[in-house]
Amino acid sequence: MKWSLDLTIAVVLTVLVWTGFYFAFPSEPFSPLETVFVLAVIYGLVTLAHLAWKRWGPAKARGK
């Protein structure tokens, strides 16, 4: 379940990034390879953030 949640967040963020860059530079949208690369990077970052939240999130939430 966790990896699918991370992947969903990564896909949504990739769509946002793709659209943002498309509006900024419409003549050169991301190629399929670049899209996959961006998705991979964002997925990695989301996974890291997820792990960090799991490790330190509850303590932060309790104010410790």
Partner 1 sequence: MTRQRPSGDWSDGRSTLARSLVLVLVLLFLVPTPSVGQYGDNMIEIERPPPGEPLVIDVPANAVLVLPFDLHEVVVSVDPPDVLFGLEDGGLIVLKGLFAHLGTVRIATPSSETPKPLSLEDLIAPGAGDPGEPGAGSAVPPEQVPVESEPSVGPDEPLPPLAGLRHTGRDLLFAGEAERAGHPLYSYLLFAGASEGSREERERFKSAIAAFVRQVRSAEALERSGAARESINIFYAPMRPIFEDTKPESMRLHFAQRSEAEQLSLLLELYDHARAEVLMGHLRLSGNGPFIVSVLRPLSRDPVLGSEAFLVQDLSRVPPELVGLWVDEFKRQVVQEATEEPEHLRRLALSLRTQIAVLADAFAITKSAVAEMFEAPDAAGTGNN
Q: Which residues bind partner 1 (CB under 8 A)?
A: 21, 24-25, 27-28, 30-31, 33-34, 36-38, 40
Q: How far is the CB of 62 from partner 1 (least distance, A)?
A: 37
Are 14 and 39 spatial neighbours (Cβ–Cβ below 8 Å)? Answer: yes
Q: In terms of CB distance, is 4 or 31 closer to partner 1?
A: 31
Nearer to partner 1, 25 or 53 (CB): 25
